[in-house]
Chain A
Amino acid sequence: MPPLAAWFDLRDLGHYARSLLGWLSDDLGAPDWVTYVVSGVIGIVAILLWLLVSQLAFIWIERRIIARMQARIGPNRVGPRGLLQPIADALKLLLKEAITVRLADRPLFWLGPVLIFVPAMVVFAVIPFGKGMALADLNVGVLFVIAIGSTNTVAVFIAGWSSNNKFALLGAMRTVAMLISYELIQVLALLGVVVFSGSMRLGSVVEWQSHYNAWLLFLQPLALASFIIASAVEINRSPMDISEAESEIVAGYHTEYSGIKFGFFYTAEYFAGFAISAVTVTLFLGGWTAWGLEEWVPGWLLFLSKLYLVFFLFIWTRGTLPRLRIDQLMAFAWKFMLPLALLNVVIAGGEVLAWREGDISANVALPIFGAANAVLAAALIVGWGTFTGHLRPERRAKQAVLTQELGAVYYVPAGRHGVQPERPLREA
């Protein structure tokens, strides 16, 4: 039946590309490299178009959702219900004067906005959008994602340095310090994933999750939480947008950029958000599979819906949580998250070892691991958080700078204003 056959073809968008390539190579007799280049170009153009359309849509969606969460309306003037707001934003950025500071380092100043796109877009090359729909399913896909993300720091530094502006440089250095701290946590979180799936290829991770009918979200909750938080910091997203928020250090590393150059930074933040969501969905949420639903619904449709759901999670945290300070962020990374991520790797390794050596069947082992990991994650977060003082602020040790005789500052426990603490305060 023609309609059903067309539906089955729609599930696998690669089919159209393959028929085009087949026509090129068989009917026209083109050499191999033409087919290769054309397939690459098709993939790149498709990913770029999808990214741009999604980004335009999400400018409006994000501003409306955050507005609703903050009990306001959001953009509703430009076009019906404000739907043309992204177009208006894009036009504004295009038409604004793109000032180049006179003493700025010209080539580097121009290079900053260009380089900031590279990590966000290149990551999409390894992500499987559906069955057989990865542009380049590398054997070291997971490490590739991290490596390309680490070039973000270079781009940020170039943008900050070339502005010839002390505040931009300060913002850039703070951002770089933040980024390198959280890179470590990203790698350790993804190591837990690789230990379970046994391969660094993103397609293999999706197949593993489909084969064992177990999303890695259930088996590695601590890794998922670490990865999402670390990645949110990596893309400078609220509540960790200390580097680029307007009330902090002017606007950080992109202070001096105006017009379309700022538009590049703005767009690259959305692309990076999509990239992080795509990696999370692929590694932890089953990618384009959903327990057999991909027989009926196209895999790429499932993938995109999950991606938008994870991105909605980022929007939600942006609208809800207040911004973290830089010293809070760094303390959080090194004292709280790094030990947890290390413990997660050790625990994951132990579990996989027990599973393989003990020859336990997957139906028995995986639920046990899932339950044990969930309990351990909760216990570790609460326990380690209390120990380092991130939870339960009333139990945190106080620091008195000046003593009582000099009539100075106490740290009062939350909710107990004006009550003297019973224990003597620790002297400086």
Chain B
Amino acid sequence: MDDAGSVIAFWLLAALTVGAALGVIAVRDLVRALVLLITSFLGVAGLYITLSADFVAVAQVLIYAGAISILLIFAIMLTPRASRDNAETFLQIPGLLLAGLVAFTIGFISLQTDWSIAERGGFDETASAIGEALLSRYVLPFEMASVLLLVAMLGAIVLVRPEGTPEE
């Protein structure tokens, strides 16, 4: 991808994503950290678009920025007596070392490996192909994912049911 638009878009979006993620670490207020996390999600969606993954990008915005963020918001709202100052635990230094080591290892290996790069260029339209794949070759994981979602929904409801509800 060497046209100017893609390059500029990639660098801007990568800066936005990684910058917002660093902001999640650094900011001293939990709700601001959440807003920066949402920005990071949107940055990742933009990166998907530069990779011509249109369906995945829109699904990312819809599910991550639109639903999982709301879950996190509700978690913050429904725990009023917890501290919201985004502090770190005592494992700060070991965590930093381990995270740095993991990031460095992954980055180093990915730069050293000789990937067999294809010549095909971007995709035209991914949604129909993904749909067909989901219903032909990946139908079993698809069905299992729907069962998983059902189980998660029921589990979440059962877990947070108020005490004293008669179990009829």
Contact = CB atoms under 8 A, between A and B. Distances in A.
B31 A108 contact: yes
Nearest to B77: A173
Most buried by A among B35, B61, B74, B128: B35
Nearest to B76: A161
B58 A144 contact: yes
A157 B31 CA distance: 10
A108 B55 CA distance: 30
A153 B35 CA distance: 12
Contact of A105 (B5, B31, B124): B31
Nearest to A169: B77
Interface in A129-175: 138-140, 143-144, 146-148, 150-151, 153-154, 157-158, 161, 169, 173
A33 B9 CA distance: 13
B155 to A, nearest CB: 18
Contact of B127 (A111, A158, A200): A200
Interface string A170-210: 00010010001001000000000000000110000000000
Interface in B122-155: 124-125, 127-128
A154 B66 contact: yes
A36 interface: yes
A157 B70 CA distance: 9
B67 A139 contact: no
Given A138-B54, A140-B55, A146 B32 contact: no
A103 to B, nearest CB: 13
Contacts of B15: none
Q: How many residues of A sit at the interface, in one of the four size bands?
A: 20 to 34
B62 interface: yes
Contact of B67 (A138, A143, A150, A161): A150
B38 A154 contact: yes
Interface string B98-116: 0000000000000000000
A2 interface: no
A180 to B, nearest CB: 6
B18 interface: no
A110 to B, nearest CB: 12
A183 B55 contact: no
Contacts of B124: 139
Interface string B22-65: 00000001011001001000000000000000110011011001
Contacts of A322: none
Contacts of A183: 66
Contact of A176 (B35, B61, B65, B73): B73
Contacts, number: 65
B4 interface: yes
A150 B62 contact: yes
Contact of B61 (A147, A158, A169, A180): A147
Nearest to B8: A33
B16 to A, nearest CB: 15
Nearest to B69: A154
A111 B73 CA distance: 17
Nearest to A158: B35
A151 B60 CA distance: 12
Nearest to B5: A33
Contacts of B125: 139
A176 B128 CA distance: 32
A153 B31 contact: no
A169 B4 CA distance: 44
Given A33-B5, A158-B35, A161-B31, A151 B65 contact: yes
A264 B35 CA distance: 20
Contact of A150 (B5, B31, B65): B65
A192 B92 CA distance: 51
A95 to B, nearest CB: 31
B70 A180 contact: yes
B32 A150 contact: no
13 contacts: A33-B4, A105-B29, A108-B32, A143-B55, A144-B58, A147-B61, A147-B65, A150-B61, A154-B35, A154-B66, A158-B35, A176-B70, A200-B127
Interface of A: 33, 36, 105, 107-108, 111, 138-140, 143-144, 146-148, 150-151, 153-154, 157-158, 161, 169, 173, 176, 180, 183, 199-200
